[in-house]
Structure 1
Amino acid sequence: MALIELNNITKCYKVGQIQVNALNGIDLSIENGEFVSIMGPSGSGKSTLLNIIGCLDQPTTGTYKLGDKNVEKVSDWQLSDIRNRSIGFVFQSFHLLPGLTALENVELPLIYRGILGKERRKRAIEALESLDLGDRINHLPTQLSGGQQQRVAIARAIVGNPSVILADEPTGALDSKSSVNIMSIFQKLNKNMGITIVQVTHEENVAHYGHKIFRLLDGKIEKIELLDEQLLAID
């Protein structure tokens, strides 16, 4: 069953008097439980596509169905609710609030849901402990390595039990060892918890941790590449 279904999606921007077509008729289907990568050269539409999938932006034309919701038809506040309840985000630059501890950063999505303190803290600690960060819950981001900060960001993404994790260059700011660790975590979340993962990456080795690669060029899907099951095995 498709969790994400995009049909004839276009996205146009006006830059002065010039119209820029960022996406040109995207048809894309991602099944529940898939781990896919989106690749393409700079300007191919990768980030625009991820923003639309993540309900951070809306298409100019076309339809987008996330689960049983027709996303292109909902209001801004409904989009915000979908983001909070159905989608976990992981970014290249982590996007942790510097004045908050690891625990407090992970609690944030639950605050927006109105979950009370005791239950919120319990869930956040469990998410951090699942990523071997139980001894770092009271550390500020500046007291953590890059790999640890990204694990905090992943804990924040999974604490609300999302249907899908969207990752924008999740290893772009990490060294090779930390990158392998983060991708192993994604594999485990996908295999053991059934979380659908969609990542944008420019790194071929990172893309090959998943099941499928969508290759974009000039705002269109040029090629869909199927990968061998568990081509890069979980440690």
Structure 2
Amino acid sequence: MSLLKLKDIYHSYKMGQLSVDVLKGIDLQIDRGEFISIMGPSGSGKSTLLNILGCLDIPTSGTYEIDNNRVEKLGDSKLADIRNEFLGFVFQHFHLLSHLSARENVELPLVYRGVWGNERKKKATKALEIVGLGDRLNHLPSQLSGGEKQRVAIARAITMEPAVILADEPTGALDSKSSSNIMDIFKKLNKELGMTVVQVTHDYDVALHGHKIYHILDGVIEKIEEIQSGGAV
């Protein structure tokens, strides 16, 4: 059964008197437990597609269902609830607060959800241990490498135990070794914790870590590439 389902999605932006079509009839079904990659050149619509999947943007037309619930016509408050409870976000540039420790950065979503005291610390510590940073709890971002900062960002994304991780160029600012480590963490979250992972990437080697690659060009899905453990089919 599909966890995320887009049907005939169009999305346009207004530029003065002009309307620019970015997505043009996207059909996309993502099953629970899948790990998929979305690839395409700059301007192809891949980030817009991820924003719609993450309820950060609303399609111009078409339908979007999360776990069989229609979401494209919900108000801002309801969309915020879905983002907080169902989705975890990982970005290229970490977005850590420099004056907070690794654990304090991971605790932020829990603060917003009203989790306090020892329970909040416990959940944040567990998330950091999952990504291999149990010995970096009190380090500031300035004391961490780029790969470690991204692991803190992933821990922050999973601390509320979301069903879906949405990652926008998660390895774009990292070297090849750190990129490989991040992909290993995503595969662990997917395989061992059952989280569905959707990533946008420009790096084919990174995309190969998933189960499928959706190639998008000029606002349409050009092809779907099935991936096996030995590489592309």
Counterpart position of 1:59:
59
Question: Superposition pairs for residues 1-235 of structure 1, below 5 Å?
Answer: 1-228=1-228, 230-231=229-230
Deviation at 1:190, TM superposition (A): 0.5
Separation in 2 of the partners of 1:29 and 1:132?
Answer: 32
The alignment of Structure 1 onto Structure 2 pairs a total of residues equal to: 231
Task: Note the residue ranges of structure 1 that are not aligned, 5 or more in a row.
Answer: none
Deviation at 1:231, TM superposition (A): 3.4
Task: Note the residue ranges of structure 2 that are not aligned, 5 or more in a row.
Answer: none
Deviations 1:69-113 (A, max 9, x none): 211121101111110110111111011111211111101111111
Separation in 2 of the partners of 1:188 and 1:135?
Answer: 19
Separation in 1 of the partners of 2:230 and 2:127?
Answer: 27
Separation in 1 of the partners of 2:143 and 2:16?
Answer: 44
Separation in 2 of the partners of 1:202 and 1:13?
Answer: 23
Deviation at 1:136, TM superposition (A): 1.0
Deviation at 1:118, TM superposition (A): 1.5
- Secondary structure (helix, strand or coil) at the match of 2:72 reads helix
Deviation at 1:68, TM superposition (A): 3.0
- Secondary structure (helix, strand or coil) at the match of 2:57 reads coil
Separation in 2 of the partners of 1:95 and 1:54?
Answer: 17
Separation in 2 of the partners of 1:60 and 1:168?
Answer: 22
Separation in 2 of the partners of 1:125 and 1:68?
Answer: 33
Percent of aligned positions that are identical: 65
Separation in 2 of the partners of 1:205 and 1:115?
Answer: 38
Maintained 8 Å contact 1:33/1:195 = yes
Maintained 8 Å contact 1:12/1:20 = yes
Deviation at 1:4, TM superposition (A): 0.3
The residue type paired with residue 28 of structure 1 is L
TM-score, length basis structure 1: 0.96
Deviations 1:141-196 (A, max 9, x none): 11110000000001011110100000000000000100010001111111111100
The residue type paired with residue 66 of structure 1 is I
TM-score, length basis structure 2: 0.97
- Secondary structure (helix, strand or coil) at the match of 2:165 reads strand
- Stretch deviating more after TM superposition (111-120 or 3-12): 111-120
- Secondary structure (helix, strand or coil) at the match of 2:14 reads strand
Structure 1 outlier segments of 4+, above 6 Å = none
Separation in 1 of the partners of 2:34 and 2:225?
Answer: 13
Separation in 1 of the partners of 2:88 and 2:224?
Answer: 24
